[in-house]
Amino acid sequence: MGDLLKIAFRNIFRNSRRSLLTIIISFLAVVVLMVSSSFLGGLFDGILGESIKSTGHIRITSADYDIKERMMSLTGNIPEYGLLKERLAQVDGVVSVAGRIKFPCLIFQDERSKEGLGYGIEPGDIQNLNFINYTYQGGLLNPSGQNEIVVGRELARSLQLKVGDELTLFARTLYNSPYGLNYRVVGLYDMQNGRLNKGFYISLASAQELLDMNDRVMEIVIFGKSSAETGHLINGLGKVPELKGLLMKSWNQIGLAPVFTGVVTVISTIMQLIFAFLAALGIANTMMMAVFERKGEIGLLKSMGMYEDEITMLFTIEGFMLGFIGTVAGLLCGGIIAYLLSRYGINLGGSLQGLPLTITNMIYGVFNTGIFLKSIILGLTAAVLAALIPALNGVRLKPTEALRKD
């Protein structure tokens, strides 16, 4: 084996230009593979994280909530929320229980008006929604404050709002009667999401007063320790008799999130196979040319008693070396780019806002051992297979045929 390694190492420099081109192809394939894996992994994690913030690990609603939500109706609600919350908080694995009300309304400020979507939230939701990182002006919403409101960047821009301004919300109550309350803007937020930035948040108690929904909520979101324990949560919540007749869904069953994340997985797999194929094609081309040019050498080696397995191994080692050099260089360069992507992210602006998903403009890549291992395995496997096939074809020639000059 030692002699084969020496010969193979010497042979890759016999046509240095072609070998360099092969190494570059492998290098580029691994770099693009790592960067695309990092980006798509970050996109998936972003969808997962934002989806869970919006829906919790488990969302509980009335059975007809989906229809009522599309109709912007408040009749699809959950009564006696206070007692139900106490019962749900006792279920094993439950970390947080929060009631929410989503409602449409008209917003008036001086002579300006705008339609908007409001959210009534509880104290725990301020942390769940990560408001501390999104508030760019003013302070956080005081959940017990009946007359406080935090407004999204887009809505604030439309109404020319600033912290301290007074505005009026007009909405139709649960019983379809108009009602209005005055609020003071205590903070402005930017969730880097066009849809959420057009809305506003008030306390759940204030929303219940505005909409005449005493002790009622539109949805209950439940957070566990992690998304991996969602199945455990569902089993535990399924034993709560008070949930009979209500609809319970996990985060990955709501909206288009499961479809989109499945698409991301498929796209990622296809891209990996494409770039592995390109790397293999470059190495295979080099080895086919090498085998063709060295037919006489192959015949000589066979006539001197070298076994076909040894000749096959020789060419395979040459291809592996070319792939190994390109893969290592690609790992170094691709790793640096993936790290920078995970550290600083990439701002996609509003390019993703047309999707019916809750996702931020800023996408941060993933940087972990997984993308390194995946790139190493695909890169080296492609190199070995691409070198093996031409080598097997070359050694099938009989020594007399290989030595014969065309």
Q: Examine the domain organization and report whether 233 and 303 are in the same domain.
A: no
Q: Examine the domain organization and report whether 161 and 308 are in the same domain.
A: no
pTM, full prediction:
0.71
Domain boundary, last residue among 190, 220, 244: 244
Range of the domain at 289: 2-50+258-403
Which pLDDT score, from 0 to 100, does residue 252 have?
A: 80
Residues 102 and 116: their CA atoms lie apart, in Å, by: 11
Helices (H), 79-222: 81-89, 123-128, 131-134, 153-159, 204-211
Backbone phi, psi, residue 382, to 5°: -60, -40
Q: Examine the domain organization and report whether 221 and 75 are in the same domain.
A: yes
Q: Examine the domain organization and report whether 156 and 302 are in the same domain.
A: no
Q: What percent of the chain stands above pLDDT 90?
A: 37
Task: Yes or no: say if 155 and 138 are a contact pair by the CB < 8 Å rule.
Answer: no
Q: Examine the domain organization and report whether 92 and 227 are in the same domain.
A: yes
Give me the number of domains the chain comprises.
2
Helices (H), 212-307: 230-237, 257-293, 295-303
Which residue ranges of the chain lie beneath pLDDT 70? Answer: 1-3, 143-145, 255-261, 287, 290-291, 294-299, 301-302, 349-361, 391, 393-406
Domain-located, residue 154: yes
Domain-located, residue 252: no
Q: Examine the domain organization and report whether 293 and 356 are in the same domain.
A: yes
Question: 178-192 pLDDT, tens per residue?
Answer: 999 999 999 999 887
Which pLDDT score, from 0 to 100, does residue 307 have?
A: 72
Q: With residue 151 as reference, give the H or E element that holds it.
A: strand 148-152
Q: Which residue's structure tokens are 């020496």? A: 6
Domain boundary, last residue among 187, 212, 244: 244
Q: Examine the domain organization and report whether 119 and 227 are in the same domain.
A: yes
Q: Examine the domain organization and report whether 214 and 265 are in the same domain.
A: no
In Å, how far are 259, 327, 374 from 370, measured between CA atoms?
A: 23, 15, 6
Domain-located, residue 55: no
